Amino acid sequence: MPEKRGVHLKLNNSELWGGLIGLALGIFVIRSGIKLKLGSINDPGSGYVLFYTGILMCLFALSIMFAAVTEGGPNFASRWEGARWTRPLIVIACLIAFSLALEPLGFLLSAIPLMLLLLRAVDPVRWTLAVPIAVLTPLGAWWVLKHVLLIQLPSGVFEIG
């Protein structure tokens, strides 16, 4: 006897929940766009792009949810099997330290050690490459932000930058 094929909705389907969260976020973005006033195609308001971005987000979320319901998807436990948390935790700790050091030390004195830590700890780069990148990248970003875009960054207690 042939087997009946039906749609079995599993509540531990991670893609279904991801789609639901995306749908909720898309609805929030649509509402935010409406609150900011849409305007028209010839005279767009400040919420125009937000509104249509929210619609796209909702469409993508609905397509994810449809696929999750019709094709199934992995459960939550299978998503976390074999996850390695060391590197993400290092990145989070470095970013927290950077945010705490930014105001008192300034942009350059907090960004250079951040870059060096990330280059050596997350995906190890040899010292001869890590040090120049860690120094030149924040210096280049600082110069562009300060001199080209005229954005003032924190200079810290040492007034560097």
Q: Quote the tokens at residue 107.
A: 């942009």
CB neighbours (10 Å) of residue 131? 16
Q: With a threshold of 0.85, does the pTM exceed it?
A: no
Identify the top-confidence range among 24-28, 99-103, 141-145: 24-28
The radius of gyration computed from the CA coordinates of the chain, to the nearest angstrom, equals: 24
Mean pLDDT of 115-119: 92
Q: Quote the tokens at residue 26.
A: 């898309």
Specify the amino acid at residue 16: L
State the DSSP code for 153: P
For residue 41, the number of C-alpha atoms closer than 13 Å in the C-beta half-sphere is 0
pLDDT of 32 above 90: yes
CA distance linking residue 129 with residue 126, whole number of Å: 6
pLDDT of 161 above 90: no
Q: Helix 127-143 to helix 107-121 angle, to the nearest 10 degrees?
A: 150
Q: Residues 33-82: pLDDT tens digits?
A: 999 988 888 888 889 999 999 999 999 999 999 988 888 777 767 777 77
CA dihedral 67, 69, 73, 79 (to 10 degrees): 100
Q: Residues 120-150: pLDDT tens digits?
A: 988 899 999 999 999 999 999 999 999 998 8
